[in-house]
Amino acid sequence: MTSPFPDRLARAIATKNSRVCVGLDPRPEMLPPPFADGVNGLEDVVGFCCNIVDATAEYAACVKPQAAYFEALAPDGLAAMWQVIEYAHRQDLVVILDAKRNDIGSTAQAYASASFGMHWRGSIAQADAVTVNPYLGCDGVEPFLEVADELHGGVFVLVKTSNPSSGELQDLDSGAGKVYEVVAGLVKEWGASRVGECGYSSVGAVVGATYPRQLAELRELMPQSVFLVPGYGAQGGGAEDVAAAFDDDGLGAIVNSSRGIIYAYRETGGDFQKAAAEAARAMRDDLNAVIV
């Protein structure tokens, strides 16, 4: 990983002609027949995730493992996640670890090392980028930026999340603008010295598809930040809702879908890999249709 994260991501988007991010949310109760209920434990979960990676790699630019689901499996569940990340890299996918970590000082440094996969007792794999929560301010984010800089990695800061109650704090309006606008200002500032050849910085923003007006506004406020957009599909956002996130070259955003892809077989029936591939292909085409 020697080129900056935004350039690696731009290359993946161009190569695949896809803005799709496949969310890897392994929930034991939703696994398809070959892995039903994960009777073989973590092995089944890793197997399922790797099968999803195989099925969707052609149609997706990146994958987003969700740390919560791996942590919930077992005390050593994160080890399974790192196996999946290692596998996804071998299939040439960009990996964004969704862990939303946050703390300060040396504790934030520890989270940053852990999130990027740089463990003290050796590393199974590296994440290309990680998500962080900005509630603690600069002290909480800068340690992640420093580790990202060393590893040519990226950081996606939660700005405006996709959930119904995201406005409770994020929309509070101060003299300096709404909270999410203040965060957007920080993201812009953090990214200013970290811009790759593609014109985007290594400091991205999480902006929900479920708030299209705010998404368009945030695009203006953070012209050099890649958007990681949750909320497409199952949460109700459509391709038109995210269209404003893309530039004229079709860069600037990746859109995540988790259960809509990986558990598509539950709606369609049939083989889970075929169902996932078809859902990823359809989402790719749906998004490409709104690119100017």
Cα separation, 168 vs 221, in Å, equals 21
Mapped onto helix, strand or coil, the DSSP state of residue 270 is: coil
Q: Which stretch binds its own copies (CB under 8 A): 61-69, 192-200, 246-254, 268-276?
A: 61-69
Q: Does 217 bind its own copies (CB under 8 A)?
A: no
Residue from 93, 158, 218, 262 in contact with its own copies (CB under 8 A): 158
Nearer to its own copies, 164 or 223 (CB): 164
Contact status: 107 vs its own copies (CB under 8 A): yes
Q: 69 near 27, Cβ under 8 Å?
A: yes
21-40 positions binding its own copies, by CB under 8 A: 25, 27-28, 38
Q: Does 164 help bind its own copies (rule: CB under 8 A)?
A: yes
Applying CB under 8 A, what is the total number of residues that bind its own copies? 66
Strand segments (E) across the chain:
20-24, 62-65, 94-101, 129-132, 154-160, 173-174, 177-178, 203-207, 227-229, 253-257
CB-wise, 176 or 292, nearer to its own copies? 176
Question: Applying CB under 8 A, does 89 fall inside the site for its own copies?
Answer: no
Which member of 140, 154, 237, 250 binds its own copies (CB under 8 A)? 140
Residue 155 vs 277, nearer CB to its own copies: 155
The CA dihedral of 50, 23, 224, 103, to the nearest 10 degrees, is: -100
Would you tell me the crossing angle of helices 179-192 and 212-221 to the nearest 10 degrees? 40
Residue 229's closest CA among 249, 192, 200, 258? Answer: 258
Using CB under 8 A as the binding rule, whether residue 42 contacts its own copies is answered as yes
Q: Min. distance of Cβ 247 from its own copies in angstroms?
A: 28
Please tell me what DSSP assigns to residue 95.
E
Burial of 193 (0-12, 13-18, 19+ CB in 10 A): exposed
- Distance, in Å, from the CA atom of 109 to the CA atom of 94, rounded to the nearest integer, reads 23
Query: Which part of the chain contacts its own copies (CB under 8 A), choosing from 113-121, 189-197, 221-229, 273-281?
Result: 113-121
Cα 83 from Cα 50, distance rounded (Å): 9
Q: Is 76 in the site for its own copies (CB under 8 A)?
A: yes
Q: Smaller CB distance to its own copies: residue 96 or 198?
A: 96
What number of residues does the chain have?
A: 292
Place of tokens 């000082």: 105
Q: By CB under 8 A, which span of 158-166, 193-201, 220-228, 278-286 interacts with its own copies?
A: 158-166
Of the residues 21, 88, 114, 242, which one makes contact with its own copies according to CB under 8 A: 114
In the 3-class helix/strand/coil scheme, how is 111-129 assigned residue by residue? Answer: HHHHHHCCCCCCCCCCCCE
Nearer to its own copies, 19 or 64 (CB): 64
Of 12 and 179, which CB lies nearer to its own copies in the complex structure?
179
- Among the candidate windows 148-156, 163-171, 244-252, 276-284, which touches its own copies by CB under 8 A? 163-171
Which residue numbers are catalytic?
Answer: 100
Q: Which residues bind its own copies (CB under 8 A)?
A: 25, 27-28, 38, 41-42, 66, 68-69, 71-79, 81-82, 100-108, 110-111, 113-114, 119-122, 124, 133-140, 158, 161-170, 172-176, 179, 182-183, 186
